[in-house]
Amino acid sequence: MLKVLSFFSGIGAFEKALTNLNVPFELVAFCEIDKYASKSYCAIHGVDESKNLGDITKVDETKLPKNIDLLTYGFPCQDISSAGNKQGLFHEDGSLTRSGLFFDALRIIEATKPKIAIAENVRNLTSKRFAEQFKIVLDSLKQAGYNNYWTILNSKDYGIPQNRERVFIVSIRKDIDHGLFQFPDPVPLKKRLKF
């Protein structure tokens, strides 16, 4: 059974995917600062709110278990999104933006060394504008001991009638990675939205 840590959890889309795929897992903890999202998460997944670590900046990574199989994180996209203010991970003065919370996820990844970490964010993270910052993300994960595989996936290519492109970064710990990972092939869209 997979031991899962979830950060920037929202209502738990990663966890719902595992459930939908009939992948047995044990939720070690989740991390969501928004109280309404947290309540929704608990109702959807049948877990107690005591599993919520709350504000990621206050998580003590030294108290987390070291036998994590999967860590998921969709760090905030407001400062990366083409609809947002496009500051990236850093403000002009060098301080971190909300999207810079990636580094808190990295701190926890470095401490817990999960077998696999999966990040999701907006496509714009891979744009020319943020090329240097995307490289920082990938290089930081590499230095933490991970081989990284990334691509842009569109939900409409995987059975969801919505045009929603996201970058996914799958980081596999170097000591267990055999270079066999591949992103799934698209599947035909059978559902349509009608008005």
Active site positions, annotated? 77
User: What is the number of other CB atoms lying within 10 angstroms of the CB of residue 97?
Assistant: 18
d(CA 135, CA 118) in angstroms, rounded, equals 16
Burial class (CB in 10 A: 0-12, 13-18, 19+), 67: exposed
DSSP calls for 73-115: E----TTTSTTS---TTB-TTS-B-SGGGHHHHHHHHHHH--S
| Burial classification of residue 106, based on how many CB atoms lie within 10 Å of its CB (0-12 exposed, 13-18 middle, 19 or more buried) | buried
